[in-house]
Amino acid sequence: MRTVFKNGRIIDPSQELDVVGSVIVEDGQVVDLGEDIEIGEYDELYDCEGLWITPGLVDLHAHLREPGEERRETIKSGTQAAAAGGFTTICCMPNTSPALDSPSLVDFILDKAASPEAGGIFVQPIGALTKGQRGLELADLAALKKAGVAAVSDEGGPIQDASVMMRAMEFCLQLDLPIMVHSEDLNLSEGGCMNDGPTSAMLGLTGIPRSAEEIMIMRNGVLALNTGCRIHFMRISTWGGVEMIRQFKYLGAPVTCEVCPPYLTLTDEHVGEFDPVFKTTPPLRTEIDIDILMQGLADGTIDAIASDHSPYAPYEVEVPFDEAPMGMSTLESTLAVTLTHVTHKGRLSPMETIRKLSTAPAEILGLDAGSLMPGHTPVAQITVIDPNLEWVFDATRTFSQGKNSPYHGWSMTGKAVLTFCGSEVYRCAHFDEERYELALP
């Protein structure tokens, strides 16, 4: 089986490659790419004129909710949403029910993700750092690593006790297992439902101070510096957090970090209508935070863009703001929001955009993804993007079961139009059928 992606702008940060040319896939693997290459015979041809051909997008941070919370999302619906959003590899967070703290649950997720009815993309489980995500006793990390987790995380139950976290880091260093940290001091954030500031005061809602995040970034950064354990800061939201991580990197701490599009596009003022889709953790901040986060992306302090896809069932979010759960359904909007509000506004080049959405996240966790180089990944992972496609995001028409998107009705410029993973292909409705040819036998 020979598949040709012809005449597109190939953007591959793993090779610093940005040329107009073709990519050839044979039996599920990239075998050649570049300008002026011989296309030869083919079984399938995609005409990518005016489109980008990039390594499949990689998401470091998604909640697939299975096992135990299938009312919100399943591995099937979540991977279909990921494919529609241009992702070929996604990492799923361990705060399921039960928490992902045993090898048998890792096997369960890998089996479900590989089943024919799933979205045809790769799911990389992230293990629970502590038993039951309770933040007290370490899970069997060696067994989790053996079962195939790429990292462990305290997402959903951030470890409060610094001595427990230090022990965890010392242990993970021995295992060469990165920790993905959710930085939140639960005493400072207790009872809060939005950013603490003039808007929360005006609305009469309890605020979460930025210190709740920054104190934990400082603590975790200091522990990483002193233990040498690799730490990945998830979904940072404050300008102070960016400055601290910049300093930790300068000091040589083995840290990386991600930002999620809502923190680049929305502020606490969006909460003004008490709409629960604007409730998330950490909370939406302010314009100054957006500005510094954008600078951090551009100067490399922020390594990756992740979705923090957090779907909920409709009945869970149709409640008063202060009772609503925290999180947003974002797998199908992450690329489009990034292109529209970061790339097209000149904050990141196309190359840097793809680096943050594919090559860098793959490198952070050492995943087989993020590159079009022949032989780099066991199977080809390719995303074709129309950078200029104008469309309107409709949360009611997503693959994700979670319709809790803050971007419903937003105009977008740019979309993944084709996601190719091995032999599985997702083609979005916007992909022009005339661009697709099947060679006749």
* In the complex, least distance from residue 356 CB atom to Zn ion, rounded to whole angstroms: 18
* In the complex, least distance from residue 214 CB atom to Zn ion, rounded to whole angstroms: 18
196 versus 308: smaller Cβ distance to Zn ion: 308
Q: Count of residues binding Zn ion (CB under 5 A)? A: 1
269 versus 316: smaller Cβ distance to Zn ion: 316
Piece in contact with Zn ion (CB under 5 A), picked from 183-191, 218-226, 300-308, 337-345 = 300-308
Q: What number of residues does the chain have?
A: 441
Q: Which residue is nearest to Zn ion (CB)?
A: 308
In 3D, which of 190, 129, 199, 193 has the Cα closest to residue 164? 129
Q: Is residue 196 near Zn ion by the rule CB under 5 A?
A: no
Piece in contact with Zn ion (CB under 5 A), picked from 196-204, 290-298, 301-309, 315-323 = 301-309
* In the complex, least distance from residue 95 CB atom to Zn ion, rounded to whole angstroms: 8
Q: Is residue 66 near Zn ion by the rule CB under 5 A?
A: no
Active-site pick, 101, 268, 308, 386: 308
- 237 φ/ψ angles, rounded to the nearest 5 degrees: -130, -10
Please give the Cα distance from 387 to 408 (Å, whole number).
Answer: 20
Piece in contact with Zn ion (CB under 5 A), picked from 131-139, 302-310, 313-321, 412-420 = 302-310
Please give the Cα distance from 2 to 24 (Å, whole number).
Answer: 7
Measured between alpha carbons, how far is residue 378 from residues 90, 160, 439 in Å?
16, 39, 26
* In the complex, least distance from residue 307 CB atom to Zn ion, rounded to whole angstroms: 9
Helices 239-250, 287-299: axis angle to 10 degrees equals 30
Catalytic site includes residue 196: no
* In the complex, least distance from residue 83 CB atom to Zn ion, rounded to whole angstroms: 20
Please give the Cα distance from 315 to 193 (Å, whole number).
Answer: 19
Q: Is residue 308 near Zn ion by the rule CB under 5 A?
A: yes
308 versus 386: smaller Cβ distance to Zn ion: 308
Q: Which two tokens stand for residue 370?
A: 């993020």
Alpha helices (H) in 151-308, listed in sequence order: 162-175, 186-189, 198-203, 211-227, 239-250, 262-265, 287-299
Residues that bind Zn ion (CB under 5 A): 308
What are the residue numbers of the active site?
A: 308
